[in-house]
Amino acid sequence: MQAISIPMEFATVMEQLQLDRLYSWFDGFVEPYLDTDPDGTANIHLKIVHTRKVCEVMALLCEGENLSSGATRIALAVALLHDVGRFPQYRRWRTFRDSESDNHARLAIEVIRKEKLLEWLDPAEQLLIEEAVRFHNLLELPGKFRSPDQLFIKLIRDADKLDIWRVFVELQNLPPDQRASAATLGFADLPEVVSAACLNSLATGTIVRLDSVRTLNDLRLLQISWAYDLTCATARKILLERGYLTALAAPLPEREDIATAVSAALSSLTSISA
């Protein structure tokens, strides 16, 4: 397994006390959003837990990739802040679908700047954190970046996926009436229906596009296709150990073409050179 190196010019000045203050800020920030109806509380709670779990996964990635303590603190700050836009998004639009509201990563940047969360950091480090938050949810990364290193962008994209897989595996094991309503993005649960466009994308080793998803099965195919987008060797190892792809595939129709596409995605996790 090849470790990710940290260029010397990105040696962080963030101290543990400052990271702890961000954690305390987060707890105070999200608390008012829980004061809503039961369905809203369940959806907000889901995102609070998700954020905390992404921080836990990020710590594992940083350890597995041999990051320095300073770089790890920057990565954990990114993990903590990556989804803070979800809370005003849900309060205003009652959905987590960006296409029906606003880009939650852009909203997160608004929160970060409004709350002046990073003003105490060197501008270069502010940029590292903000760009990682801004680009964590894109289907494809842009060709140009303002920051000269994309380490933290890659780490948050992997950490976020690992916990989204956990969320959906846990949700699909619950009765439909016990699932947080916004978490499944409103897609119909049609057990035998799979869209050809989604299956074709997975079968060809490309990421399924959200705008082609029509059913909950399609959403499962989309998440399985994320296996092809992982960049960190430790993330691939964790994904295999936790068995998320196999669990996501379990409710899919028993068809040879689906089984073959899922098997190829699983195989990619061990065939990609670390």
Report the CATH number at residue 110. 1.10.3210
Same domain, 14 and 118: yes
- Give me the residues paired with residue 215 across strands: 188
Is the torsion defined by CA of 201, 193, 176, 87 positive or negative?
positive
In a domain, 108, yes or no: yes
Among residues 71, 50, 244, 137, which one has the least CA distance to residue 235? 244
**For the segment 78-100, what is each residue's pLDDT rounded down to a tens digit?**
999 999 999 999 999 999 999 99
> Looking at residue 133, what is its pLDDT?
98
Residue 145 DSSP symbol: -
Helices (H), strands (E): how many in the chain?
A: 12, 0
Task: State which of 107, 142, 158 marks the end of a domain.
Answer: 158
Let me know if residue 179 belongs to a domain: no
Query: How large is the average pLDDT for residues 56-82?
Result: 96
15/144 same-domain check = yes
Q: Report DSSP letters for 203-271, one per residue.
A: HTT-PPPGGG--BHHHHHHHHHHGGGG---HHHHHHHHHHTHHHHHHTTS---HHHHHHHHHHHHHHHH
108 vs 119: CA distance, rounded Å: 15
Whether residue 169 is contained in a domain is answered as no
Residue 54 contacts residue 79 (beta carbons within 8 Å): yes
Distance CA 132, CA 99 (A): 21
More confident residue, 210 or 1: 210
Phi/psi class of residue 167: alpha, beta or left (left: φ > 0; alpha: ψ in -120 to 50)? alpha
Q: Residues 261, 206: contact at Cβ < 8 Å?
A: no
Q: For residue 14, what pLDDT is reported? A: 83
Same domain? For 152 and 199 the reply is no
Between 141 and 249, residue with greater pLDDT: 249
Does residue 194 sit within a domain? yes
Single out the residue of 249, 203, 252, 255 nearest to residue 228, CA to CA: 203
192 in the same domain as 134: no
As a whole number of angstroms, the distance between CA 40 and CA 44 comes to 6
- 154 with 194, same domain? no
Domain shared by 19 and 151, yes or no? yes
Task: Quote the tokens at residue 8.
Answer: 């010397």
Neighbours of 22 (CB within 10 A): 16
pLDDT at position 54: 98
Handedness of CA 1, 226, 127, 86 (dihedral sign): negative
Q: Say yes or no: 28 and 147 in one domain.
A: yes
The answer for residues whose C-beta is within 8 angstroms of residue 73's C-beta and 6 or more apart is 12, 14, 15, 16, 18, 19
pLDDT at residue 13, as a whole number: 66
State whether the Cα torsion 157-198-236-55 is positive or negative. positive
Residue ranges making up the domain that contains 245? 187-271
Domain membership of residue 171 (yes or no) is no
Q: How many domains does the chain have?
A: 2
Which amino acid makes up residue 169? V
Is residue 44 domain-shared with residue 125, that is, in the same domain? yes
pLDDT tens readout for residues 13-53: 688 999 999 999 999 999 999 999 999 999 999 999 999 99
Which of 94, 125, 90, 95 is closest to 111 using CA atoms?
90
**Which amino acid appears at position 265 of this protein?**
A
Is residue 175 in a domain?
Answer: no
Question: What local confidence, expressed as pLDDT, does residue 147 receive?
Answer: 72
Residue 176 has pLDDT above 80, yes or no: no
Same-domain check for residues 133 and 12? yes
Q: What is the dihedral of CA 94, 107, 77, 18, to 10 degrees?
A: -100
